[in-house]
Amino acid sequence: RDIVMILAEFQRRFLEIWSMMDYLEIFEPRLKFEDKAHGVNKTWMGCFTKDSAIVLRLHKAGVPLWLIRDVRLIDDKINIRQVIPFTPANLVF
């Protein structure tokens, strides 16, 4: 039992350090120099947001993202592949 807990804690800390290194080495420099657009990194989890300013910054940094919009704000000129209902975090199992 103890070895399982030790390994789980090690894994959690390792992944946290790895993600912090990715942030400092890859993501943060991309945010500082917004004049260059980067390709989307498909290995990253991404971001859900309602803020269009955040969408612009993260898109240029190459972060996968989803812009959440009220259906009433979408006009007929926008191509929608699929509408997915929003599930609040407290309802996720």
Write out pLDDT tens, residues 61-85.
Answer: 888 888 888 878 878 887 778 877 7
pLDDT given for residue 36 in this prediction: 76
pLDDT given for residue 91 in this prediction: 54
| Alpha-carbon span 27 to 66, nearest angstrom | 18
Q: What kind and span of H or E run contains 67?
A: strand 65-67
Point out which residues pair with 48 in neighbouring strands.
Answer: 66
Tokens 């991309």 correspond to what residue? 30
The token pair at 81 is 């592949």
pLDDT given for residue 90 in this prediction: 67
